[in-house]
Chains A and B, each alone.
Chain A
Amino acid sequence: MNANLPGADTQYAFLLDLSRCIGCQGCVAACTTGNELPAKTQYIRIGEIVMGEFPEVSAFISNHRCYHCADAACVNVCPTGAMYKENGLTRLDQEPCIGCGECVGACPYEVPKLRNKKSTKCDGCKAVVDAGGTPWCVKTCPSQALMYGVRADILAEAQARVEAIKGRYPNAQVYGETQAGGLGMLVVLPDSPEVWELPADPDTHADATTSLPPSMAKALPANFGFLSALTLGLGAVIARRDKLGRAPRKDSTTVIDSELEPRV
């Protein structure tokens, strides 16, 4: 059996090189159109990080998206199996999702969002990859900032890239080799993770105790997802932010459960 074929127990990963990313948002638009995301939904958020004072200033691009934790908090808390791991990536099947918002509160990276009473996030372009394609974001990136492949190869590439930029960025490092059991999004960071507010040791079990008992999940009324998003999901986000003692990310959106608008 070819170990590189999807279906084999091969671990795949993305490379995200923030020293190369130039903030063009080509990936955001490719993801949004290729995956037919509803209006006002994006899986990738681009922002800027500015340090220093004019003219002694430096800046980086932030490119926030699902990090595909091996030990994924969203999978850990999902009561229905909508969130699951496959080939090293964190998939999301919206059909069994009940919109309870557990994943929203549990994710240390604030990635999943509720939309139309369903959780939504990057699933590593499962349908595209299963059909033999390349994830949309990787396919279009004009800056060589994104790659997709077997995790071991991607890790080697990330490490080589870090070595190559050390002269210019002394704090350059690979983020994700070990975090959360090893990420499926290996990030080349030109500086330390705190600059991007990336936790050095993300806690993927912090909110496990707030999981719904399975019996309750089974008996949920149809509109429970909406209520739980407000009561449990948002509450958990706020609680965790308070715990971390920091303001919400500038480029982050709050938990939203709006009616789904078709994209034109």
Chain B
Amino acid sequence: MGKVALQITRRSFLKVAMAGSSGMAMATRQVRRAAANTLRQAGVPDAWFFKGTIKSTYSVCDMCPWRCGIIAQSVGDTVFKIDGNPADPKSRGKLCARGQGGVSFMNDPDRLRAPMVRTGERGEGKFKEVTWIEALDAAAEKLNAIAAEYGPESVAVFGHTAGDYWFADYWAQAFGTPNAAKPSSSLCTSPREEAAKLTYGFAIGGHEPVDWEGLKCLTLIGSHIGEDARNTVMQDFATATANGAKVIVVDPRFSTVASKADYWLPIKPGTDTALLLAWIHVLINESLYDADYVAEWTEGFDELKAHVADFTPEWAAEITDLDADLISTTARVMAENAPQSVIMPGRHVTWYGNDTQRMRAEYIINALLGSVGREGGFYFAKAPYIEEYPHPPFAVAGSSGGCSAEPGQESAELPTGPSGKTRADGARTTFLRGSTAMQELIEPMISGKPYPIKALIVSGVNLLQSIPNVERTIEALKQLDFVLVIDVLPMEHVAWADIVMPEATILERYEELSTIAHKTPYISLREPAVEPYYDTKPAWWMAREIGLRTGLEKFFKWETVEEFIDARLATIGSSIEKMRASEGIIVQKPKAYFADYGKTSPFHTPTGKIQLYSHELELAGFDPIPVYEPVEEPPEEFFRLLYGRHPVHTFAKTQNTPLLSELYSENEVWINAAAAKKLKIKDGATVILENQDGMESTPVKAKVTERIRPDAVYMVHGFGHNAEGLTQANGKGASDTLLQTRYALDPISGGAGMRINFVRIKKGNAK
């Protein structure tokens, strides 16, 4: 009571001194406050963490594909809170808003609850609930019949997020279809992966290997850290800037990270390669590059020097709409801080169809700065060692790709299915490399060329909110003989399924070990915090049950996924039990810098050196050194349509999650203030966007802002849902994917460049 009394005394003294006449009222309130304190002290706190014993479960977040280690905190059968796992090299005990929203995602009342079969027309969304046995038998019967008539290659499998392994990798390879794809390749990272393999001889993999701790200069080309809320990157960015690192941001939009940068280059969209070539010109012309590093670790420098001779900052200034001095200055800042100076490879880099060459130009600069393989630069990532489950040899090698694929080399030959067919997406024919192009698998569903794809299994990919040219995707969905959809929520494409299988979320299921190629290679355990809700099942269970019904018994000798995981862990002397006792994480020894490689080269190129000049590209008829190729300009009245992330949302996956919808419920279209004034559009007005092909958006609010160039507009991706079952997200905002009626195929990587679409702004009616 001493403290309370003291506070009252101080308070009343102050109050009386200042307010005088209200002294009487104060005295009465003090009595009330004291009484309230007594009540408080007598009462039991009702916070969730006093409700019983807290159970902590180790898993990996699935709210985005970044894979932060988490601890799910539950009491009884209820998960109350998700925290970052302090032992996890990615989350380090922290978590973004989306990760915190994992419980809300699980508790979404709109979830798919039971297996269903279609009763109406495809696309109508009419279904009846059936038992698992009925759904599995029916699916297997269709798959077996199609495989018997057209070969297993005629079944395509699209997968994304944590459960995608079981269908897009394990089942697909056992069944014998090479037509497995993940949107994280050709709709996202393919150009950077193929460019890295061509230049350095290794892929970037899931985690960009920036050695943040000693970093002195960070250059971002379109990456918007903070809006792209990858937890680790936000933490590392904070550390780097606290250590005084310089930040250079190239972006047509004044992104959050641009607002924290030392230099912002508001580049004209589509001209990045011209800027990069001018930077190379300055680095070479002013002898700012690391000559020793270049001599030891690169080849083709003389050709590069000759190539960029005319690409002056003045030349690039004309093209990029940037100041020539700013171009020179930023190149010098990069060089002054080298080798602790990197251009961080962006993640979603499928922009204009010439993206592999742009990414090569970025990697060439990192080489000139001498940063690759140096502390504080660009470390060498290493995959953790662990054996695969000892299954019999698969019918076809895997090639689904994805951003979480481990760093590796280009495989010599494309995987061939049991009927002798390679992938139907045009790899090695319409585009050079062997990476998988999901969007190129749509055409064979319609045309039957090069051979028919008759069935599609979709695990966790929103087909209509991620693949450009939505009309074509719908046509394909009409043509297919069989569509099986596995998902958590009744997304748009679910209405086009013949059979729907409801998936348990990551908090309700075991999942295959997460193996992360990293500075410190590591493995994480994914255990369930609660039993699956409703009549939902994990994807591993569905894939196994379908496997047992499609003649694949020998691959599914394991009965539970725990058995599968333990068999793998045994190969490194561990087990689920042991991992549980070690905070769910096994960290292995790094091999991050040159010193760790002795006399061998870490660059797996034909000569063991960084390919400034690519003979491989030259032989295939491509430019051996990147050149700037102009992209189509928006016509009169039109803006280039740019898109990106909001920190509380992932893809088209989280807009219906109640907590996250509450934090950002609908996207807006960013319009430059001067451009909006000309069009007489006010901030907050409802508008409709019409693209170059006459495709109209749903009504969307205008965000009139100084933070974007006047020749482009910007939207957060993933909104404009039109599935009635999504009660939070349906009808909110507009879909950028719908307006991407065309894309430019990257002839090297197979990536789908989506920033070649233009929109004009029509004043909309209020909703």
Chain A contacts to B: CB under 8 angstroms: 9, 19-20, 22-26, 28-30, 32-36, 39-40, 42, 50, 52-55, 57-61, 71, 76, 78-82, 84-85, 93, 95-96, 127-128, 130-131, 133, 139-145, 164, 168, 205, 208-209, 211, 213-214, 263-264
CA distance A205 to B30 in the complex (A): 17
State whether A26 touches B100 (Cβ < 8 A). yes
> Known contacts A54-B708, A143-B235: does B226 contact A22 (CB below 8 Å)?
yes
| Contacting residues, chain B, for A58 (C-beta < 8 A) | 259
The answer, yes or no, to whether B242 is at the interface (CB within 8 Å) is yes
State whether B647 touches A40 (Cβ < 8 A). no
In the complex, besides A26-B94, A142-B94, 8 extra interface pairs with C-beta distance below 8 angstroms are: A26-B229, A54-B709, A55-B709, A128-B47, A140-B95, A144-B239, A205-B19, A263-B658
| Contacting residues, chain B, for A22 (C-beta < 8 A) | 225-226, 234, 237-238, 256-257, 260
CA distance A127 to B35 in the complex (A): 20
CA distance A20 to B240 in the complex (A): 11
Tell me the smallest distance from the CB of A178 to a CB of chain B, in Å.
Answer: 15
State whether A25 touches B647 (Cβ < 8 A). yes
CA distance A131 to B104 in the complex (A): 25
Tell me the smallest distance from the CB of A9 to a CB of chain B, in Å.
Answer: 6
**Majority SS of interface residues in chain A?**
loop
Query: Which of B703-730 touch A at CB < 8 Å?
Result: 705-710
State whether B25 touches A54 (Cβ < 8 A). no
Selecting from B37-45, B393-401, B406-414, the interface stretch reads B37-45
Q: List 28 A-B contacts (CB under 8 A).
A: A9-B3, A20-B238, A24-B97, A24-B234, A24-B647, A26-B94, A29-B97, A29-B98, A30-B100, A32-B100, A39-B658, A53-B706, A54-B254, A55-B266, A57-B706, A59-B259, A78-B29, A81-B32, A81-B34, A85-B7, A95-B39, A96-B32, A128-B47, A142-B96, A142-B238, A143-B235, A214-B25, A214-B29
Chain B contacts to A: CB under 8 angstroms: 3, 6-7, 14-15, 18-19, 22, 25, 28-30, 32-37, 39-40, 43, 45, 47-50, 80-84, 93-101, 103-104, 107-109, 225-227, 229, 231-232, 234-235, 237-239, 241-242, 254, 256-257, 259-260, 262, 264, 266, 647-648, 658-660, 662-663, 672-674, 705-710
Tell me the smallest distance from the CB of B514 to a CB of chain A, in Å.
Answer: 20
* Cβ-defined partner of B705 (8 Å) among A50, A143, A263: A50
**Majority SS of interface residues in chain B?**
helix
| Contacting residues, chain A, for B256 (C-beta < 8 A) | 22-23, 59, 61
State whether A208 touches B226 (Cβ < 8 A). no
State whether A82 touches B36 (Cβ < 8 A). yes
State whether B6 touches A141 (Cβ < 8 A). no
CA distance A141 to B239 in the complex (A): 13
CA distance A213 to B22 in the complex (A): 10
Residue of A nearest to B100 (CB): A29
State whether A84 touches B36 (Cβ < 8 A). yes
State whether B95 touches A30 (Cβ < 8 A). yes
* Cβ-defined partner of B266 (8 Å) among A25, A54, A84: A54
| Contacting residues, chain B, for A128 (C-beta < 8 A) | 47, 49
* Cβ-defined partner of B226 (8 Å) among A23, A40, A131: A23
State whether B96 touches A33 (Cβ < 8 A). no
State whether B663 touches A29 (Cβ < 8 A). yes
Residue of A nearest to B321 (CB): A55
| Contacting residues, chain A, for B259 (C-beta < 8 A) | 58-60
Residue of B nearest to A144 (CB): B238
| Contacting residues, chain A, for B239 (C-beta < 8 A) | 144
State whether A139 touches B708 (Cβ < 8 A). no
